[in-house]
Amino acid sequence: QVQLQESGPGLVMPSQTLSLTCTVSGGSMTTGYYYWSWIRQHPGKGLEWIGYVYHRGSAYYNPSLESRVTISVDTSKKQFYLRLTSVTAADTAVYYCARRPNWYFDLWGRGTLVTVPS
């Protein structure tokens, strides 16, 4: 059974770069037609889609974050990555990685809280 697990630092200083990894276990990243996605949830708030990457490397981002976001993939390691530059306290959130077969997310990681102090 395919599972996703986020990892990365829980604290990032303002103006620095947030870097997270999502590791895929129990299955292949290249079988099927999946988009590997990142979603975040601000404390006590709703969900915000960040972007996705296809296993061949093409990526697409939320226009509101596009200038600061990079999502990449390494299928040999069965990992995909989120990089968010110039973070502020407004980027404090739980970050989820998820698998997207079409326009829905069928598998989610447990999430990781990233705090940017103000």
Partner 1 sequence: QSVLTQPPSVSAAPGQKVTISCSGSSSNIGENYVSWYQQIPGTAPKLLIYDNSERPSGIPDRFSGSKSGTSATLDITGLQSGDEADYYCATWDVSLNTGVFGTGTEVTVL
CB under 8 Å to 68, separation ≥6 — which residues? Answer: 84, 85, 86
On whether the CB atoms of residues 4 and 23 are closer than 8 A, the answer is: yes
- Which residue of 31, 33, 43, 46 would you call a contact of partner 1, by CB under 8 A? 46
Which structure tokens are listed for 62? 């939320």
Residue 64 within binding range of partner 1, rule CB under 8 A: yes
Site string for partner 1, 15-34 (x = CB under 8 A): --------------------
Residue 109 within binding range of partner 1, rule CB under 8 A: yes
Q: What phi and psi values does residue 89 have, to the nearest 5 degrees? A: -60, -25
Q: Which residues bind partner 1 (CB under 8 A)?
A: 46-49, 62-64, 96, 102-106, 108-111
